C-alpha cells in the first residue's frame, strides 16, 4: 500500500534524479538504475513496466549502432572520409572550419556524435597544426556541428530513438528515418555559416608557440638529480628500488651520455646518470636527502630532456567511451597496461601536477604522456585515450567496404519499410560479426553499456510520467496559460526553451524523455499536429552548446581546444539563440499546426 500519492513519488523521483544529474555525484547510468528501483519498489510501476525500457527497440537499435560505430572506427572509414574532405592545400581558417562543420555534421547523422568527434579530434588537431592554426579555432566548431548533425536522421543520436520509442508507446506515428533530414541539414548549414562568420570573432585564441612542458608547467613537479659515485643506487636495477614508490616519486627517465632512456624494471642505474624525477617538491627533497643525490640546477627539464629518438611526449584526451572514465590511473594500472608515463593532467582547463595517479578521471581530461613510440602507437590504436598529433594514414580495405555496405543496406531496408529499423540494425550488426568485419569480443567492447542503462532507466521514468497523468497535467497547465488562448507557436517556443534549459542542466536524454510526453499531450489538447512540438523538443535537446559538461562532445574538445567554461557560454549562447529562432520560424512552415480531424 502506498503511503504517498503516486504522482508525488514520481515528482520526487524526477526532482531527485535531476539534482543528481546536476550535482554529478553519481554516474548517469547508476542514477537511471536507482530510478528504476525506486519506481518499482514504491509500486508506481510494476517490475515488468519498470524493466520494459531495457528491452525497448530503442535500446536494441542504439546497441546495434554502437557495433557499427566500432567497426567504422576499427577500419578507419570516418578517418578516410575526413582525410579526403578536410585535407587540402588551402591554409585558410575559414575553409578548414567550414569543411570540418559540414563533414562532421553529415557523419553525425548516421553515426554517434561522440564517436565522430572521438575520431576527428586527433585528425583535426593534426590538420590545424600543419596549417599553423590554433586548436581553439577549430575544436568548438567540431563539437557544435556534431550536435546539430544529430538532427539529420532518426539514427543521429540516442535521444532521437528514445523519442521515437515514446511516440510509439503513445500510439502515435513515429518519425520516419529521413523525415526531418531537410530541417537538420538546414540547421547544420546555418550553424556552419555562423561559425565561419560572426562566431569566429567569439572563438578564443589558445596558446601560441608554447611547448607542452611549458603549458603543463612540468618544471614545477619535475626535476633532475645526479647520481654520485658513492650513491647506493649505483649498479642496482630499478625493479629492486622500492624507495621511489615509498616517497611517491616517479622515475621518468635516465639521461646517460646525453641520451634519454625510458626506465624499465631491468635497467641498472650507473654512476653519473641524471635521473628525471616527478613528484611533490617535498617528496623529491626527502628522496634526494635519503639517497645522497645532488640536484642539477643548471639543467632545463623541457621536451628535449623528456623525449628522444624512441621516446615521445604527446597530449591525449579521455574520450566518452574510455574505461578510464570514473577511474584513477592507479586503479586502472595505466602505466603497467600501456607502458606510458602520465606527467601532467588538465581538468576543465586547470593543470594538475600533484596526485595525478589518485585523481578520478572524467570525459575530456587531457593528459601529458611520455612513452616509447611503439607504446604511443599502440595507445593510438586502442583509443582508450585519443592521442593528439600526427595521425597515421589508414588503408581502407575489405572490412571498411563491407561495413559501409552493411550500413547502407540497413538504411535502405528501413527507408523502404521492409522491416523495422531496430530489426534491420540488429541484423546488420550480426552480419558484421558473422562476416568477420568485427570480432565478437570487440562488438561487445564497442557498446557503451552505460548509455543503454541510462536510456532504459529514463524510459521507466517516462512511463511513470505517462501512467500517472503527470504529462497530461503539465500540458494542461502550459496550455491554460493566458486563459487557454496561447498561440501554438508560443507553446512550441515554451517546449523548445524548456528542453534547452534541461539539456544544459542534466542530459539531452533526460530532457527528451521528460518533455516528449508533454509535447504529445500539448498537441492533443490543442488539436494540432504533434510534429512541430516533438521537433522543438529534439532541437532543444540537441542545443547543448553553453557548457562543457552539457554533452560529452563538449567535454572531449575542451582540453584540446584549451577552453574554459566562459568560452562555451560566450560562443554557445548566441548559437543557441540562433538555432532557437530558426526553429520557432521554420518548424511551423515545414510542419504546419494543422487541426487533426
Note the pLDDT tens digit of each residue in 406-445. Answer: 999 999 998 888 888 889 999 999 999 999 888 888 888 8
For the stretch 260-317, pLDDT in tens is: 777 777 778 888 888 888 777 777 778 777 776 776 654 445 554 566 667 788 888 9
pLDDT tens column, 150-203 = 999 998 888 998 899 889 888 888 999 999 999 999 999 999 999 999 998 999
Q: What is the CA radius of gyration of the chain?
A: 26
Residue 580: pLDDT over 90: yes
Which of 593, 595, 588 shows the shortest CA–CA distance to 183? Answer: 588
- Bridge-based pairing of strands 386-387 and 294-295 is unpaired
Cell of 83: 582525410
If you average pLDDT over every residue of the chain, what do you get?
84
3-state secondary structure of 261: strand
For the beta sheet containing 341-347, the strands, ordered from the edge strand earlier in sequence to the opposite edge, are 350-352, 341-347, 366-372, 311-317, 386-387
Phi, psi torsion values for 319, nearest 5 degrees: -80, 175
Q: What is the pLDDT of residue 298?
A: 47
Number of Cβ within 10 Å of residue 171's Cβ equals 7
Distance CA 262, CA 241 (A): 16
DSSP string for 416-453: TTSS-HHHHHHHHHHHHHHTTSS-HHHHHHHS-HHHHH
The answer to whether 177 and 414 have CB atoms below 8 angstroms apart is: yes
Predicted confidence (pLDDT) at residue 495 exceeds the cutoff of 90? yes
Query: Do residues 79 and 124 make contact, with C-beta atoms less than 8 angstroms apart?
Result: no
Cα 94 from Cα 577, distance rounded (Å)? 22
In degrees and rounded to multiples of 5, residue 20 shows phi and psi of -65, -40
Mapping DSSP to helix (H, G, I), strand (E, B) and coil, where does residue 323 land?
coil
Provide the whole-model pTM: 0.86
Whether pLDDT at 49 is above 80: yes
* Alpha helices per DSSP H over 181-311: 181-196, 198-202, 212-215, 243-246, 281-291, 303-306
Instruction: Give the SS3 label for residue 268.
Output: strand
With 80 as the cut, is the pLDDT of residue 505 above it?
Answer: yes
Q: Are 78 and 146 in contact (CB under 8 A)?
A: no
**And the C-alpha cell for 486?**
496561447
- Does the pLDDT of residue 54 top 80, yes or no? yes
| Residue whose cell numbers read 565478437 | 440
> Which pLDDT score is estimated for 592?
92
Flag whether pLDDT at 91 surpasses 50. Answer: yes
Is the separation of the CB atoms in 446 and 412 below 8 Å?
Answer: no
Given a cut of 50, is residue 321 above it in pLDDT?
A: yes
Residue that is written with C-alpha cell 563533414 in the block: 103
Decide which of 293 and 8 is more confident.
8
Helix (H, G, I), strand (E, B) or coil at 275: strand
Mean of pLDDT values over 94-122? 90
* Mean pLDDT comparison of 90-94, 128-132, 170-174, highest-scoring range: 170-174
Residue 51 clears pLDDT 70, i.e. is over it? yes
Domains and CATH numbers, the chain: 65-208+399-447 (no CATH), 212-306 (3.30.70.1450), 311-387 (3.30.70.1450)
**Bridge pairing between strands 274-278 and 366-372:** unpaired
Provide the grid cell at 88: 587540402
Average pLDDT rounded to a whole number, residues 488-511: 90
Percent of the chain whose pLDDT exceeds 70? 90
pLDDT tens track for 219-243: 666 777 888 887 778 888 877 777 7
Nearest CA-CA partner of 250 in 136, 349, 341: 341
Residue in this structure with the C-alpha cell 523502404, named with its chain if needed: 416
Other C-beta atoms within 10 Å of 161: how many?
27
pLDDT score for 178: 92
pLDDT of residue 40: 92
Q: How far apart, in Å, are the Cα atoms of 593 and each of 490, 510, 539?
A: 12, 26, 17
Cβ 211 vs Cβ 303: under 8 Å? yes
Tell me the average pLDDT across 557-578: 91
Instruction: Round to whole Å and give the CA distance between 591 and 533.
Output: 9
Contact 44, 406 (CB under 8 A): no
From residue 228, alpha-carbon distances to 15, 113, 251, 273 in Å are 64, 55, 17, 8
Cell numbers that stand for 319 in this block: 574520450
How confident is the model at residue 346, as a pLDDT? Answer: 84
Three-state SS for 458-510 is HHHHHHHHHHCCHHHHHHHHHHCCCCCCCCHHHHHHHHHHHHHHHHHHCCHHH
Question: CA–CA separation, 318 vs 324, rounded Å?
Answer: 7
Question: pLDDT for 339-381, tens place per residue?
Answer: 888 888 888 777 776 678 788 898 888 888 888 888 888 888 8
Amino acid at each position: 500500500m502506498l503511503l504517498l500519492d503516486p504522482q508525488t513519488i514520481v515528482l520526487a523521483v524526477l526532482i531527485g534524479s535531476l539534482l543528481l544529474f546536476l550535482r554529478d555525484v553519481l554516474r548517469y547510468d547508476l542514477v537511471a538504475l536507482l530510478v528504476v528501483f525506486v519506481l518499482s519498489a514504491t509500486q508506481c510501476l510494476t517490475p515488468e513496466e519498470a524493466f520494459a525500457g531495457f528491452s525497448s527497440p530503442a535500446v536494441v537499435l542504439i546497441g546495434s549502432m554502437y557495433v557499427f560505430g566500432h567497426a567504422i572506427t576499427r577500419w578507419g572509414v570516418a578517418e578516410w572520409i575526413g582525410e579526403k574532405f578536410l585535407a587540402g592545400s588551402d591554409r585558410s581558417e575559414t575553409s578548414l572550419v567550414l569543411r570540418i562543420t559540414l563533414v562532421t555534421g553529415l557523419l553525425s547523422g548516421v553515426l554517434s556524435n561522440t564517436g565522430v568527434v572521438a575520431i576527428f579530434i586527433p585528425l583535426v588537431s593534426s590538420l590545424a597544426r600543419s596549417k599553423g592554426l590554433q586548436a581553439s579555432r577549430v575544436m568548438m566548431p567540431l563539437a557544435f556541428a556534431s550536435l546539430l548533425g544529430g538532427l539529420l536522421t532518426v539514427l543521429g543520436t540516442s535521444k532521437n530513438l528514445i523519442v521515437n520509442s515514446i511516440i510509439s508507446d503513445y500510439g502515435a506515428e513515429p518519425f520516419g528515418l529521413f523525415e526531418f533530414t531537410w530541417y537538420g541539414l538546414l540547421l547544420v548549414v546555418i550553424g556552419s555559416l555562423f561559425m565561419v562568420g560572426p562566431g569566429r570573432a567569439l572563438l578564443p585564441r589558445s596558446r601560441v608557440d608554447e611547448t607542452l612542458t611549458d603549458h603543463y608547467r612540468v618544471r614545477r613537479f619535475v626535476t633532475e638529480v645526479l647520481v654520485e659515485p658513492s650513491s647506493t643506487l649505483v649498479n642496482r636495477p630499478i625493479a629492486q628500488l622500492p624507495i621511489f614508490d615509498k616517497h611517491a616519486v616517479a622515475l621518468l627517465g635516465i639521461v646517460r651520455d646525453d641520451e634519454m632512456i625510458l626506465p624499465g624494471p631491468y635497467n641498472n642505474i650507473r654512476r653519473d646518470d641524471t635521473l628525471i624525477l616527478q613528484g611533490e617538491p617535498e617528496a623529491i627533497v626527502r628522496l634526494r636527502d635519503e639517497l645522497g643525490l645532488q640536484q642539477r640546477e643548471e639543467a632545463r627539464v623541457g621536451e628535449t630532456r623528456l623525449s628522444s629518438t624512441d621516446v615521445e611526449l604527446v597530449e591525449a584526451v579521455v574520450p566518452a567511451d574510455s574505461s578510464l572514465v570514473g577511474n584513477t590511473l592507479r586503479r586502472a594500472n595505466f602505466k603497467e597496461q600501456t607502458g606510458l608515463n602520465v606527467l601532467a593532467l588538465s581538468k576543465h582547463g586547470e593543470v594538475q601536477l600533484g596526485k595525478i595517479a589518485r585523481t578520478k578521471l572524467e570525459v575530456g581530461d587531457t593528459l601529458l604522456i611520455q612513452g616509447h613510440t611503439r607504446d604511443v602507437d599502440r595507445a593510438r590504436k586502442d583509443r582508450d585515450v585519443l592521442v593528439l598529433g600526427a595521425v597515421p594514414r589508414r588503408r581502407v580495405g575489405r572490412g571498411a567496404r563491407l561495413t559501409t555496405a552493411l550500413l547502407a543496406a540497413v538504411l535502405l531496408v528501413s527507408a523502404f519499410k521492409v522491416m523495422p529499423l531496430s530489426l534491420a540494425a540488429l541484423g546488420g550488426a550480426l552480419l558484421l560479426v558473422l562476416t568477420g568485419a568485427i570480432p565478437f569480443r570487440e562488438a561487445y567492447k564497442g557498446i557503451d553499456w552505460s548509455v543503454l542503462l541510462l536510456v532504459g532507466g529514463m524510459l521507466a521514468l517516462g512511463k511513470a510520467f505517462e501512467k500517472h497523468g503527470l504529462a497530461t497535467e503539465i500540458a494542461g497547465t502550459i496550455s491554460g496559460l493566458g486563459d487557454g488562448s496561447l498561440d501554438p507557436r508560443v507553446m512550441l517556443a515554451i517546449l523548445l526553451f524548456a528542453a534547452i534549459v534541461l539539456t544544459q542542466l542534466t542530459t539531452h536524454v533526460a530532457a527528451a524523455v521528460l518533455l516528449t510526453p508533454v509535447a504529445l499531450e500539448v498537441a492533443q489538447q490543442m488539436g494540432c499536429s504533434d510534429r512541430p512540438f516533438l521537433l522543438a523538443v529534439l532541437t532543444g535537446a540537441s542545443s547543448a552548446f553553453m557548457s562543457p559538461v552539457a554533452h560529452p562532445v563538449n567535454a572531449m574538445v575542451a582540453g584540446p581546444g584549451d577552453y574554459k567554461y566562459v568560452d562555451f557560454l560566450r560562443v554557445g549562447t548566441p548559437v543557441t539563440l540562433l538555432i532557437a529562432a530558426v526553429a520557432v520560424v521554420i518548424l511551423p512552415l515545414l510542419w504546419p499546426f494543422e487541426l487533426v480531424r
